[in-house]
Amino acid sequence: MPHLPAADIRRAVRVGLEEDLGRGDITTQALFSKPIHARAKIVAQQPLTVAGLSAAVQTFLAVDPTLILTVERHDGEQAKDGESLLRIAGDGRSILQAERVALNFLQHLSGIATLTRKFCRAVRGYPVHILDTRKTLPGWRALQKWAVTLGGGVNHRMSLGDGILIKDNHLVLMQRGSQAVRSACRAAHAYQARTGPVIVEAESLAQVRKAIEGKAEIILLDNMTPLMVRRAVSLINRRALVEVSGGITLKNVRAMAAAGPDRISIGALTHSAPAASLSLVVMPARRRSS
């Protein structure tokens, strides 16, 4: 199971709490002048793949290290509707102060992991990987891409420094006309500081041929139909890995997988995943019997 580096969690928790608690929680302060012992639990309100629980735990502890936390579902595990993921006991004021930030992590990241799992299940039986993209929230890339791996997906480039991806706008700026793809590939292969493969985005079979001539290592078929993808796969004939992207949905992803690519990259995994439904239920502490 992939693990998110602790430094990324700490950074995200710090920023989240600064946003939400920078000026204090005046509602809780106005209503409760003294500690009030309470119990609470975070409950799944739909079937989901858990992601962000470690960040939620760190959020509660950052607000109040004396809180007692009992983890009942770990990151990457499946949770059913109504199941508890985390139980918290301690000062109710601290629980309320950490609630929103903790739920933000869990709802957003579990939503990404759950959607990714749906895409992975949709292509089951085909030798294809589901990848994310760089379409992520500023500052949240490490967390969002981690959630993708928890759902069974594979990370594409983490940054512009991870491999050369030649896209349409690069080719426009080169001003080489029909020779732009081959010229770009030649420059990419010659670039001594490059890391990772040379990837070329192709929007037509003509561009696919140019990418093959340029010895691209991965050819990204952009916004093609499954029939066009099948033709491109045949044309490439294993001389490069084949990736498809653009307009991929749960309705058409299996047809895309059947066309024979090696990879399917989906921006929606991170930029359009619906938040998972979870709630924090607070319960008064049990009274001691006299």
21 dihedral zone (left: phi>0; alpha: psi -120 to 50; beta): alpha
- Helix 92-122 vs helix 141-150: angle between axes, to the nearest 10 degrees? 60
Residues 6+ apart with CB under 8 A from 224: 203, 232, 244, 246
The catalytically annotated residue of 87, 134, 167, 230 is: 167
Distance separating alpha carbons of residues 67 and 227, to the nearest angstrom: 57
If one counts every other C-beta atom within 10 angstroms of the C-beta of residue 141, the result is 18
Domain contains 181: yes
Find the CATH number of the domain harbouring 109: 3.90.1170.20
Closest CA to 214 of 195, 197, 234: 197
In this structure, the answer to whether residues 60 and 16 fall within a common structural domain is yes
Distance separating alpha carbons of residues 275 and 104, to the nearest angstrom: 9
Domain contains 151: no
| Res 284: pLDDT | 73
- When computed from its CA atoms, the radius of gyration of the chain, rounded to whole angstroms, is 24
Distance separating alpha carbons of residues 165 and 176, to the nearest angstrom: 18
Domain contains 221: yes
Domain contains 39: yes
The catalytically annotated residue of 91, 99, 222, 243 is: 222
Question: Is residue 201 flagged as an active site residue?
Answer: yes
Question: Is residue 14 flagged as an active site residue?
Answer: no
Domain contains 261: yes
Question: Is residue 18 flagged as an active site residue?
Answer: no
The catalytically annotated residue of 201, 217, 243, 254 is: 201
DSSP β-ladder status, 278-284 and 78-79 = unpaired
| Res 288: pLDDT | 53
Find the CATH number of the domain harbouring 211: 3.20.20.70
What secondary structure does DSSP assign to 189-248, as a single string?
A: HH-TT--S-EEEEESSHHHHHHHHHTT-SEEEEES--HHHHHHHHHHHTTSSEEEEESS-
How far does the chain reach from its first CA to its final CA, in angstroms? 48
The catalytically annotated residue of 39, 87, 100, 263 is: 100
The catalytically annotated residue of 87, 118, 134, 135 is: 135
In this structure, the answer to whether residues 12 and 88 fall within a common structural domain is yes
In this structure, the answer to whether residues 86 and 169 fall within a common structural domain is no
CB contact burial 186-221 (16+ within 10 A = b; e otherwise): ebbeeeeeeeebbbbbbbeeebbebbbebebbbbbb
| Res 290: pLDDT | 44
Number of compact structural domains in the chain:
2
- Domain carrying residue 112: 6-119+274-284
Which tokens is 272 given? 């359009």
Could you identify the residue written with the tokens 């079979």? 205
Average pLDDT, consecutive stretches of 10 residues, N- to C-terminus, the chain (290 residues)? 78 96 94 95 98 97 98 97 98 97 98 98 98 95 96 94 92 84 91 86 94 96 97 97 97 98 98 97 69
Distance separating alpha carbons of residues 116 and 254, to the nearest angstrom: 14
Question: Is residue 251 flagged as an active site residue?
Answer: no
Distance separating alpha carbons of residues 45 and 79, to the nearest angstrom: 9
Distance separating alpha carbons of residues 36 and 64, to the nearest angstrom: 13
Give the alpha-carbon dihedral of 172, 173, 176, 177, to 10 degrees: 10
Question: Is residue 135 flagged as an active site residue?
Answer: yes
What DSSP character marks residue 177?
A: G
In this structure, the answer to whether residues 195 and 111 fall within a common structural domain is no
In this structure, the answer to whether residues 251 and 280 fall within a common structural domain is no
